[in-house]
Structures are given as structure tokens and as C-alpha cells.
Amino acid sequence: MARKRGRDIHGWLILDKPLGPSSTTMVNRLLRFFDGRKAGHGGTLDPLASGVLPIAFGKATSTIPYIMDATKRYRFTLSFGESRTTDDREGDVLATSDVRPSDEDIRAVLPSLCGDVMQVPPVFSALRVGGQRAYDLARAGRPPELPPRPARIDSITLVDRPDADTAVFDVQSGKGVYMRSLARDIALACGTVGHISVLRRTKCGPFDLSHACSAEQLGLDKTDETRDKACVLPVPLLEAATALVDIPALAVTKAEGKTLICGQAVTLAHLEGGVPDGVETVPLWRVMIGEHVIGLCRVAEGRLRAVRMLENHLFFGEQDVDYS
């Protein structure tokens, strides 16, 4: 989201999102709170979910797609015995079951839910059906039939069993996986029904809870009258390129970097830093001059071409840096 007025603020802020507000609500609050011009988040968390919510300001918004595509980790509690309209504790009860699976029953079904799977999204989701949000149709009493969608679930681990009615899981997954759907599907695979009662994201791409600040640490619990306006940014923002650290790095010289910035390709045979083995099998490279990330490139037909460049000012602005 962009604002007509505001300061130029660039970088990532990692919020430990509280329960209650939506991801978009938190982005808007931080944008106003810090008086920024432009911000966006790197992956939606439901209002009843907490945890790692990466928020990009200014130029960092150009790296949001790479966080959206990144691997994520979650911890959730599955409550057995009731399926609900929303697949979480907020919804109305749809069906009940007296079946309570054992730990062995649960572990036996988890491998079948991992890997590249087809997942039916929750009816109460932001997916568009005929130009309308699925949750709007569901609330209007016309829940849509949502087709299964491809999903990648790397691992599901049963980590705790507080009682017969609940089980706690750690999950690592790719883009677009619905934890509410996964909780529902685990229960169904165990011969019962269930819904997610607690959900927390612990990692999103390179960002985890160690990077995250709470709303209280950021001063979001204060009013304009009580907060210290001299300290608009209570924590330093992480550089935009921090979002790209999971992408393999490829070193180039300053001359090669300038060629890429200008939209021209660099022949691999001419790369002074050498070419790693299997360079053409990697879908995306994080191109670096020394310790500085200048952008993202792809390799095809023996040439390195720019996909998205971040540091044009290093070559053409007043802040030019000498890497020699």
C-alpha cells in the first residue's frame, strides 16, 4: 500500500503479529505510525494466527515476491472432535466425532500428507470465485466449491499431545499452503474431524522469531500523545536484500554489474569470478559485488541476464561506491 505523503523509509521490519488484527491492518498501522510512503507484507496471517509477519517498506517491497515464495514454518494445535465452517475455532460446528486417534495413528498418516499434494482451500479464504472473495460468499450463505490446488508440504512433525483432544504439530511448507486445511485433512485421515485452535508462524524465508518485534516493543500500544515522536523508528530496519539470502549467490565485478544494470547480458565465459558447476540449473541467482547484493539474475544459453536489480545508485547516483 502506498500513501501520497510520508517519509522515504526502506527495509524490512519483522513483526510478531498479535492475535486479532489482520495482516493488512497491521501493515496500515505501521505505515501510518512510521509515516512511511509505501509498505506491504510477505505472506498473510489470519486474524487468529500470530507470529512472523515480514513487512517491507519502500524499495524493499520489490523483494516481497521472493518472501511469498519462500519456505515457511508453523506450529499449530489441532483440536479433534469438531469440524467447523472456517476450519478454525472461530467457525460454527459442522460435524462431531467421538474418535480420538492415538499418537501412532497420527504418525502413520502424516507421510501421505507430505510432498507435492493437492489441497482443498478453506471455504473461508481470500480466494476469488467469479470475482468475489470466497469468504464473502460463505458469509452470505453461498459457500463455493473450491477445487484442489497444488501445494508443497516438506514435513509434518507431531511434537506434543497435551491430551486426547489435542495434538501439536510443526510444519514446514512452501507457498500458498493453508494450515487450516492441513489440520482438517490430518483429522480426516485419522478417521475423525477437527479444526485448528492455535496457529503461530515461526519462520518465513530467512526471517524467524529471533528477528521479530512485538507490537509493544514497537510502541503500537501507545497513542500519538504518549509515544516518543522523536523515535519514529524504534528498531532499525533490515536491508531489502536480507529477503534474498536464501537464494544462491554469484559474484560479479563492478564492470559486469554495471552491464547487468544497463539491461545487457554478460556471457558466462567472460565472468571474471568464474562459473559455479551447474550454473544453468539454478533458477535464480543473487548477484553480488563483494558483500553488496545488486540484484537477481537468471542464466540461459550461456548468458547471465537481469531479472530485478536493486542497487542502481551504486553506479549512477551520487552515492557511488568503490569496490576496487
* CA–CA gap between residue 42 and residue 64 (Å, rounded): 5
CA angle 293, 33, 312 (to 5 degrees): 20
Does 105 qualify as catalytic in the annotation? no
* CA–CA gap between residue 10 and residue 58 (Å, rounded): 4
Nearest to 60 by CA among 98, 34, 93, 96: 34
Element (DSSP H or E) covering residue 134: helix 134-139
Polymer length of the chain: 324
* CA–CA gap between residue 137 and residue 256 (Å, rounded): 53
Specify the DSSP class assigned to residue 179. H
Nearest to 86 by CA among 168, 179, 6: 179
SS3 content of the chain, % helix, strand, coil (to 5): 25, 35, 40
3-state secondary structure of 256: helix
3-state secondary structure of 211: helix
**Residue whose entry in the numeric block shows the C-alpha cell 513483526:** 15
* CA–CA gap between residue 216 and residue 105 (Å, rounded): 41
Marked catalytic residue, from 8, 16, 46, 160: 46
3-state secondary structure of 32: helix
For the annotated catalytic residues, the residue numbers are 46
